[in-house]
Structure 1
Amino acid sequence: MNLDSTRRFFDGRLWVLIAAYNEASVISDVIKDVLLNVTNNVLVVNDGSSDNTAEIAKAAGAQVISHCDNLGQGAALQTGFSYLKGIDFDYVVTFDADGQHMYEDIFVMVEALEKEQADIALGSRFLGRVENISKKKLLTLKAAIAFTNATSGVTLTDSHNGLRLLTARAVNEISITQRGMAHASEIIDEICNKNLKWCEVPVTIKYTEYSVSKGQKISNSISIVLDLLINRLYK
């Protein structure tokens, strides 16, 4: 199956869900890559952006839902899940808005999920390839992985990778209540609690100059750790 026929095949089956906050400078290219190469079904949840992310996403061809306030990535994903539950689909991909994810990995994830007959495929940069990651980010991710593995009962190589492929069953079963970064660990908990079958798939994460400047601040690293602790203490 060539790329064009694959894209047409996915048009009726697969949605790409993008949670976005102040991504006006990059989101158009992200959306256009997906629309051109993967599927016509792109849903952007604009999480209270103060720039024109929503307008640019619409102009690029995505469907857009907007939060009035910035609620957090977990809340944005849950909004997307709630919307998609009313639509007939087979798969949903959660995809970052900042250009770190590669659309090519979506095809690999679908193939792996169908081969394993799984409910959810989790992307792993540590099974695949990671470009330009800082030592600080690497240490934070490794700590988060160790913590999640120790407390969830699931052994993963990359617990905080936002690139995931979910079946309709998984979307209907998973409920995200953690608004911040702890939603990633909560999804792992939901996989266990709902007896969902999962697999990990090697993917590439590309840390661009833009994503590094936005996503690798020390405050973001601290936020991941604090959200993990709060999630475990109060779940």
Structure 2
Amino acid sequence: MANQSDVWLVVPVYNEATVIADVVREARKTFPNIVCVDDGSKDASADEVRLGGAHLVRHPVNLGQGAALQTGIEYARAQPGAQYFATFDADGQHRVEDVERMVQRLRDEPLDIIVGTRFHGDEGDIPWLKRVVLKTVVFLSPTLRKLKLTDAHNGLRVFNKTVADGMNITLNGMGHASQIVEMIAHKGWRVAEEPVTILYTEYSMAKGQSLINGVNILFDTVLRTNARR
């Protein structure tokens, strides 16, 4: 197994006490450096993060996933030897082997950031609402089409130090994914997609994207598209 000591996983956490310790323990078998940002959880998430062995940063109140990601990236990029970074969900949906493959591509190819995509053949496991929302977002976004990205709201992304140093997420909520896409285009970061598998467990589905979040993503995309016209 390759030495992954120069890789940091950034995990936003909000009320994930049921699963986060196991998620961290499993990921640390491959990636020893993990920072979890407890985004104002009302449960014992912080205690479970510590049990899992990850670094812990806490927001005193819930600020949103975008803010948690930015806090985690800032923490990780300040660590000695940090060269590669991955955003990784706390609910067990993401697979460590997908991160390994994406990191290796960054080591081997002239790329700055790789975004996971669920749309690479069989889409039967993707809930129909997610398929509709995500494909509509791509249809409405000229930037996504220009960059040839099919799943920009996939939370699994791997990027190098150049991107980490330039990452400045100011949209605290779900709109952060669209903002990251805009930064890729504006800063000229070299981007590619990587097919990944999302594990839709009963727990992750209960915690996952609701209809209102889907509507918010579409609304944000429409507003940004119109603002650029």
TM-score, length-scaled by structure 1: 0.89
Q: Is the 8 A contact 2:174 2:213 kept in 1?
A: no
Aligned to 1:136: 129
Corresponding residue SS for 1:204:
coil
Are positions 1:10 and 2:4 aligned together?
yes
Paired residue type of 2:113: I
Corresponding residue SS for 1:127:
coil
User: What is the identity percentage for the equivalent residue pairs of Structure 1 and Structure 2?
Assistant: 40
Distance across 1 between alignment mates of 2:208 and 2:15: 12
Post-superposition CA distance 1:126-161 (Å, at most 9, x none): 127666322112111111222234577422121111
Are positions 1:208 and 2:201 aligned together?
yes
Aligned to 2:66: 74
Q: Is the 8 A contact 2:113 2:190 kept in 1?
A: yes
Write out aligned runs for 1:1-235 (5 A): 3=1, 6=2, 9-11=3-5, 13-36=6-29, 38-88=30-80, 89-127=82-120, 132-150=125-143, 153-232=146-225
Post-superposition CA distance 1:169-204 (Å, at most 9, x none): 110112111111111111111111111111111111
Distance across 2 between alignment mates of 1:150 and 1:85: 27
Corresponding residue SS for 1:187:
helix
1:210 shift after superposition: 0.8
Distance across 2 between alignment mates of 1:224 and 1:127: 22
Corresponding residue SS for 1:45:
strand
Identify if the C-alpha distance between structure 1 residues 187 and 161 changes in structure 2 by more than 3 Å, giving closer, same or farther.
same
Post-superposition CA distance 1:47-81 (Å, at most 9, x none): 11111111101111011101111111111011112
Distance across 2 between alignment mates of 1:104 and 1:133: 19
Paired residue type of 2:22: D
Q: Is the 8 A contact 1:121 1:199 kept in 2?
A: yes
Structure 1 or 2: more strand by fraction:
1
Distance across 2 between alignment mates of 1:175 and 1:152: 23
Root-mean-square deviation (Å): 1.9
Q: Is the 8 A contact 2:143 2:182 kept in 1?
A: no
Q: Is the 8 A contact 1:127 1:157 kept in 2?
A: no
Paired residue type of 1:14: V
Q: Is the 8 A contact 2:169 2:179 kept in 1?
A: yes
Corresponding residue SS for 1:165:
strand
Identify if the C-alpha distance between structure 1 residues 161 and 136 changes in structure 2 by more than 3 Å, giving closer, same or farther.
same
1:227 shift after superposition: 3.3
Paired residue type of 2:173: G
